[in-house]
Amino acid sequence: MRQQSIPVSLVIGSICAVLLMATGIHAQDNPVTPTEPLLQPTNPIGDVLPAANQNQEKTFQQIVDEVRANEKQINKLFSSIPIGFPKKQMEQMSQIEFLKKSNEALKSQLEAAAFKAFRLDPKKNRGAVQLVFATMRKKLEVTPISPEYDPRGALEIAEMMLDTDLDSDPPGPVRLEDVAYQAFLASYAIEDYARADLMLKKIEDKGLSLQPSVRQELTDAQEKWQRELMIRRLESNTDDLPRVKLETSEGDIVVELFENHAPQTVGNFIYLVDRNFYDELPFFLVQPGRIAQTGCPTGDGSGDAGYYIPSETDREQIRHHFTGTLSMANSGRDTGGSQFFITHQRNGQFDGKYTAFGRVIEGMDVVYRLKIVNQTRPVSLDYGTPPAPSIIHKATVIRKRDHTYAPTRIEKNAEANVDGSDSEPAAKAVADQNSGG
């Protein structure tokens, strides 16, 4: 299931723009850090901006009104900048900068105020309802530059909204079915398929028809999830599967490996971990709501361990891809090696194509915090300088069975790709598959 992307601009900034446009006022673009505090007592504006008690909590409408008033004053100052009077020009530009920074500080308070206003009376606070809904959608956005992917947080907001009367007359700014669909996406992402089914029924009860593929994907996920839960119960009884701890720059991730279902892939993985192969390697491809990929010694998706290993995707008892699944990247059958990815949520298109060989049992919150990067492509500065990637500082086997672990090697000069085509970097193959699914 994929969330339809919403505009890339910050949610709060977008809502402010909508509110300001309603009054015919246009904000000047001058982005600053949203959490930057108001300038201290050296206020160059004098009585232009009324002194405010910063300890006094403002309402949503008060914040909106202050932002509007500041924008009005900014436009007035811009239109009256004198020509030929440098000192006066500097004074007015200083006033304008102060007002802009004041507005950024106000906008940083807007989201919390919107939630409070929504809880008090959503019918009287239409702007607050819109901002709450946009905040929920932002937590489910899966564009390559989404700042945050948090399906559980989105579900909490959806449940709060569904507890109110969204079917009021006259209708509000957000429809019940729109909230229900976001709740469906969030529930699907965390494997709460019963709740996801309930949300689809809410939509259908409104007389809306869904694409057949939506129901089909949910039914398929439910069936495979029940099988997965049964396998996990059996595994917990023996409690002897190998485990590896990944100490990353964002925190620790502990994974359990599916040796019973993908023994050759697990054997290769433990072999590489024991030889410190993954230490100091980056998560070079992180796509919110999709995957986090690592295991490339060159850091751009073009490197590997120097050999291939067999795919284990045609076994009768393969494991499927759910939240936190470890899967071996490849560029075709029998071309895996060292690169692997961790899924953010269920992805049926990966089943049977990539070998699922483990799952996260601790630290899924860390996986979500990994820096959003794509080092498989040339750097684009359209959205600013990209962050440095998150790093695996140390990978350690913390439990394994009492036997030797070693890869079943397929040398690169062998016929590894059954269709005879030239292989491509594993990272590109996974990214291309994922972007279409």
Residues 6+ apart with CB under 8 A from 44: 91, 94, 95, 98
Tokens at 78, concatenated: 């811009």
Q: How high does pLDDT run on average in the chain?
A: 83
Residue 255: both structure tokens together = 């994974």
The conformation of residue 49, written as its DSSP 8-state character, comes to S
Six-digit token string for 63: 């914040």
Confidence of residue 430 (pLDDT cuts 50, 70, 90): low
CA dist., res. 322 & res. 220, Å (int):
12
Query: What pLDDT is recorded for position 294?
Result: 98
Q: Is 1 exposed, middle or buried (0-12, 13-18, 19+ CB in 10 A)?
A: buried
Structure tokens at 138: 């932002």
Measured distance CA(82)–CA(85) in Å, rounded: 6
Query: Which residues pair with residue 247 across a beta bridge?
Result: 252, 394
Cα 64 to Cα 24, 76, 343: the distances in Å are 14, 18, 39
Question: How many CB atoms sit inside 10 A of residue 345's CB?
Answer: 25
Burial status of residue 178 (CB atoms within 10 A of its CB: 0-12, 13-18, 19 or more): middle
Tokens of 69: 């008033």
CA dist 359 and 299 (Å) reads: 23
Q: State residue 379's pLDDT score.
A: 65
Confidence grade of residue 13 (pLDDT, cut at 50, 70, 90): low
- pTM: predicted TM-score of the whole model, two decimal places: 0.77
Cα–Cα distances (Å) from 355 to 56, 150, 209, in that order, read 56, 26, 35
Tell me the C-alpha distance between 280 and 296, whole Å: 10
| pLDDT tens digit sequence for 193-241 | 999 999 999 999 988 888 899 999 999 999 999 999 999 999 999 999 9
Confidence band for 386, pLDDT divided at 50, 70 and 90: confident
Concatenating the DSSP letter of every residue in 359-400 gives EEEE-HHHHHHS---BTTS----TTSSPPPPPEEEEEEEEE-
Residue bearing the bigger pLDDT, 11 or 264: 264
Q: pLDDT digits over 374-384, tens only?
A: 998 876 655 66
Residues 6+ apart with CB under 8 A from 155: 183, 186, 187, 190, 192, 195
Mean pLDDT across the stretch 86-106? 91
Helix (H) or strand (E) holding 220: helix 212-238
The confidence score (pLDDT) of residue 114 equals 94
- pLDDT tens digits for range 151-209: 999 999 999 999 988 777 677 789 999 999 999 999 999 999 999 999 999 999 988 88
Q: Residue 241 region, left (φ>0) first, then alpha (ψ -120 to 50), else beta?
A: beta
Q: Which residue has the higher pLDDT, 30 or 135?
A: 135
- State whether residue 329 is helix, strand or coil: coil
Question: What's the pLDDT score for residue 48?
Answer: 35
Ordered domains of the chain (ranges, CATH) = 11-135 (no CATH), 150-232 (no CATH), 241-435 (2.40.100.10)
